[in-house]
């Protein structure tokens, strides 16, 4: 199924899928290997905000024998055969914020009791919207931002390994690094969404946890709004 459709924006409380595709030629073959059902908090021209509730059933990549990917040595982490598995999101929920066309999203984490923990900048492809949610491709490199506004790079070893095994060429890697520097500039200037008070946000207690649909990996038709 191909083409472009036009749909209305989602409204608060709607359930959609937040998905990531693997990198060709990685073992996933470029198909969806991460799928997280989420609840829409806000969807405007400037921002898509969604909530992933504790206990949400998600899809994640695992090695062919079921071993968690992070347990595989880095040297073979991106070349070992993989499959996908269903699993519940552990710990507290996550608020995810993405601005249209921006090559990263910002996630907010809390400790139990709603004590704010940190922001997490996930460098990725700008999200492609489709009728059932949004799709992206993770770029390995990330940034942690703490309540005192300090920050540091994350997963630089994975970023380097992805380049070494051919999941990302030098030109693409340079673009990712430049996107990361742009995110760092936004952090240093304390621009949105860091200054927007999202750490004080709370989900509607009436929201139910979204269900993972049987066809979570279906081909998406890109949409415009």
Distance CA 219, CA 225 (A): 19
- What are the two backbone dihedrals, phi and then psi, of residue 92, each rounded to the nearest 5 degrees? -80, 170
CB burial readout 20-36, b (16+ within 10 A) else e: bbbbeebbbeeebbbbb
For the stretch 55-105, pLDDT in tens is 999 999 999 999 999 999 999 999 999 999 999 998 899 999 999 999 999
All residues at 6 or more sequence positions from 74 whose CB lies less than 8 Å from its CB, including other chains? 157, 158, 161
Q: How far is CA 63 from the centre of its chain?
A: 20
Q: In the beta sheet, which residues pair with residue 95?
A: 51, 108
Q: Which domains, ranges and CATH numbers included, belong to the chain?
A: 15-196 (2.40.380.10)
For the stretch 128-154, pLDDT in tens is 999 999 999 999 999 999 999 999 999
Tell me the whole-structure pTM to 2 decimals.
0.93
Does residue 225 carry a pLDDT above 90? no
| Secondary structure letter of residue 72 according to DSSP | S
All residues at 6 or more sequence positions from 115 whose CB lies less than 8 Å from its CB, including other chains? none
All residues at 6 or more sequence positions from 119 whose CB lies less than 8 Å from its CB, including other chains? 106, 107, 108, 109, 144, 145, 146, 194
């Amino acid at each position: 199924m191909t083409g472009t459709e036009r749909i209305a924006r989602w409204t608060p409380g709607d359930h959609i899928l937040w998905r990531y595709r693997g990198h060709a030629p990685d073992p996933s073959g470029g198909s969806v290997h991460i799928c997280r059902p989420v609840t829409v908090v806000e969807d405007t021209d400037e921002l898509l905000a969604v909530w992933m509730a504790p206990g949400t059933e998600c899809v994640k990549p695992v090695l062919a024998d079921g071993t968690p990917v992070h347990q595989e040595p880095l040297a073979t982490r991106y070349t070992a055969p993989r499959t996908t598995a269903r699993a519940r999101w552990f710990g507290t929920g996550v608020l995810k914020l993405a601005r249209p066309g921006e090559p990263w999203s910002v996630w907010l984490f809390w400790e139990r009791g709603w004590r704010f923990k940190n922001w997490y900048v996930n460098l990725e492809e700008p999200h492609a919207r489709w009728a059932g949610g949004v799709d992206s491709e993770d770029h390995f490199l990330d940034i942690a931002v703490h309540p005192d506004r300090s920050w540091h790079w994350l997963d630089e070893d994975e970023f380097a390994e992805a380049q070494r095994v051919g999941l990302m060429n030098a030109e693409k890697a340079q673009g990712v690094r430049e996107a990361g520097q742009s995110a760092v500039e936004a952090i240093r200037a304390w621009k949105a969404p860091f200054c927007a008070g999202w750490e004080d946000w709370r989900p509607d207690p009436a929201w139910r946890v979204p269900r993972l649909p049987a066809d979570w990996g279906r081909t998406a038709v890109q949409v415009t709004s």
